[in-house]
Chain A
């Protein structure tokens, strides 16, 4: 098998597996249990929504962790993510909640088929059901991180850059 084929296989598997992101999000949830939401918070002293997502991604991809936007709408428009239909969402995808002006005002990480994880003003970092009456009443969009390897996603380290693990 040539390198190109391996790369192609890796790239195609990337699209179907983000369990590493979901697992890391769950680890951070356990760490943060009961700590309140902090507006602008980007570390384990307290997170806001985009701070939590950026922190989780930063733990997995330390080379690019600091380059993620620290606003929900900034993350939604980041070219490092590709749009996903709601019915195709998978663990590790990002879920965005929009206001009436179609601007993302909240973001979380898809955990499993029933839950997403985010930092909410009411609870701080917590698992939320997709059927949650409040959050499900808001328009939603989904994004998936691109150009990262399944191995990196699952092991929680590295980033696939130009055919090599950085």
Chain B
């Protein structure tokens, strides 16, 4: 009987907890993202990327990125036709660098210096798009700072937004 009551109490409280978690995530996103509109400032290829990728990205310098818990728009990426979700986490810089460097065949490695990172830990984020069948990532930010966003693009190119 006690078990049943506990289970009912748990099930009743569960949606509230989920709502709290979603709300908390939104507040976290809003506080970390000091503004919703950012300007494509520059692109870098610390370990080298193709001429095609460099030329492609340079066309978008000075264009605008819109990011908020409800909206994500970047002219050089797919626009999400479903719901957008942003997952932010704190990551040690060394783990994030390991992750990026595992994505490359190059012997050259991306370093904290390449990215202008001085802290030992950073806030990174994945932007997800949810359609009727699947939730999948559409963008990955490797560092969220008050005045700068760093996005990982193809061939380990890095886009800086200001």
Contact = CB atoms under 8 A, between A and B. Distances in A.
Interface stretch (B9-17, B24-32, B74-82, B111-119): B74-82
Main secondary structure of the interface of B (DSSP, over half): mixed
Main secondary structure of the interface of A (DSSP, over half): loop
Interface in B32-89: 50-53, 56, 75-78, 87
Interface in A94-145: 99-100, 120-129, 131-134, 137-138
A138 B55 CA distance: 12
A14 to B, nearest CB: 24
Contacts of B134: 26, 29-30, 33, 127
A39 B139 contact: no
Given A128-B78, A134-B56, A34 B103 contact: no
Interface string A9-42: 0000000000000000010011001101111100
A133 B77 contact: yes
A34 B87 contact: yes
Interface of B: 50-53, 56, 75-78, 87, 99, 102-105, 126, 128-129, 131, 133-140, 151-156
Contacts of A126: 136-138
Contacts of B51: 100
Interface residues of A, number: 29
Contacts of A99: 50, 52
A21 to B, nearest CB: 15
B79 to A, nearest CB: 8
Interface of A: 26, 29-30, 33-34, 36-40, 46, 99-100, 120-129, 131-134, 137-138
B78 A122 contact: no
24 contacts: A26-B134, A30-B134, A36-B99, A36-B102, A36-B140, A38-B102, A38-B103, A39-B104, A40-B105, A99-B52, A121-B103, A121-B152, A122-B140, A122-B153, A122-B154, A123-B126, A123-B137, A123-B139, A126-B137, A126-B138, A133-B75, A134-B154, A137-B56, A138-B52
B52 A100 contact: yes
Contacts of B155: 121
A37 B52 contact: no
B135 A33 contact: yes
A122 B139 contact: yes
Contacts of A40: 105
